[in-house]
Amino acid sequence: MNAKRGMVYLVGAGPGDPGLITVKGWACLHRAEVVIYDYLANESLLEAAPSQAERIYVGKKAGAHAMSQEEISRLVVEKGRSAVVVRLKGGDPFIFGRGGEEALALTEAGIPFEVVPGVTSAIAVPAYAGIPLTHRDLTSSVAFVTGHEMPGKETSAIHWDRLATAVGTLVFLMGVRNLEHITSQLMTCGRAPETPVAVIRWGTTPEQETVTGTLATIAQIAAGISPPAIIVVGEVAALRPKLNWFEGRPLFGKTILVTRTREQASEFRALLEERGARCLEFPTIEVVPPLSWEPLDRALKSIDRYHWVIFTSVNGVRFVFQRLEALGEDVRSLHGIRLGAIGPKTAAALEERGLRLDLLPSEYRAEAVIDALGEAEIRGRRFLLPRAAKAREVLPEKLVEMGGEVEVVTAYETVRPSEKAKEVRRLLREGAIHCITFTSSSTVENFIAMVGDDHLPSLLGKAIVACIGPITAETARKHGLTVEIIPDEYTIEALTAALVAHFQNP
């Protein structure tokens, strides 16, 4: 029996923004058995790999190398003999990424490989800083140069006398520590001291920082900038004030804590990141099946007993239909039963399954359901409420008060994850979080339980609190929190708009 033969994909991860990985690179990650990744490869990309895939960090940054290049090459060869390996490298593997060395090592070992080019930081980072590397009126040439040569090196591989004036735009990678040497060489070899220069740190990420000056002044202006950074020299750098689209977004520079469940956070996070925010996911709720399916299954088996089924969350919809499928049933089981939903997302989850709603109150809370139904529709009717194990009792209590028969069944439970609490406390103490968002009372309760309520207002410091609606805000206030943002409409879209308005008009 032949041993399994491996395959290595040298994949460019792009410059930092995970959205800039190529479609082919993403596909390679999906089938990886081993991922060997760098310091500059965005770690969120690792989520694309199968959960059972081995993940190995081999990052190299100034003064802190996890492995030498020789060790990395040996590791890629070793793993590539019998596994599907993705060697995930920041930027493009063949532009100052030492991908050529790793490819040669694979060739010598007889291991098949493919190169999947990435969006190089040399192009993407200036673009995110509002700097086009070429412009018809300014320059038609560009060069990528390593800035990593040491000033004391006896023989430079860079021909400064030719480079200084022969190319319109110069992009130096890994050169910020040698900035003074680079600018001095260019001016000595004939480049005008007033030539515009930009230094961009952590380009394409929410931490992007850009400083500008001239060849004569930039070394002093950028003295506090540390790696990773890119240097752009040329007249095109002067276009930044007019073309600075990325850093001009309304939430740029703001770090926002998202406390939704891991499954629900992605949509909210995408809305915030589109507007420039840096998002930290701190799920204070994890949705899990109930301890027993028996109560829900029993209700679903006799579903035709009920006049109404009212759903209060997307999770309730999801688990009810999972159980219907498990019981050999489908959407037809709800024929003739009136359906209600609290909130547009819950309504959308039902409509996606081909169901027409009989009740969607304009205000997304339990009290509005009572007002919308009216006593005539409630008295003598039987209601099924599939929901979380712990939830507000307002709706079932009011329905009973008005003559309805109510059965509340547990469709799912919410529990507290234990991750990241220590890190979040540290970031709050350091003032690194600008806003904490809560989308339900349980996210408030769990956040406080996870982070601790000792001197909580002082721990939050200048971080503002944003709540999706008045019920959530009331819970936050009960715990001594000052709520500064509540949108008029209780949706994540409205909450995002309220955050933008707050930070644009502080």
Residues involved in catalysis: 38, 60, 174
- 268-271 LR contacts (CB < 8 Å, sep 24+): 268/437, 268/439, 268/492, 268/495, 268/496, 271/492, 271/493, 271/496
Residue 221 one-letter amino acid: I
* Residue among 349, 319, 101 nearest 360 (CA): 349
Residue 29 one-letter amino acid: L
Q: What's the angle, vertex CA 200, arms to CA 223 and CA 225, rounded to 5?
A: 25
φ, ψ dihedrals at 11, nearest 5°: -110, 130
Query: What burial class does residue 253 get, using C-beta atoms within 10 Å of its C-beta: 0-12 exposed, 13-18 middle, 19+ buried?
Result: middle
Give whole-number Cα distances, 266 to 260, 269, 336, in Å. 9, 5, 35
Q: Which residues contact 195 (CB under 8 A, 6 or more apart)?
A: 186, 214, 215, 233, 234, 235
Residue 23 one-letter amino acid: V
**Rounded Cα gap, residues 137 and 236, in angstroms:** 9
**Rounded Cα gap, residues 249 and 500, in angstroms:** 10
Q: Report helix angle 99-109 to 69-80, nearest 10.
A: 40
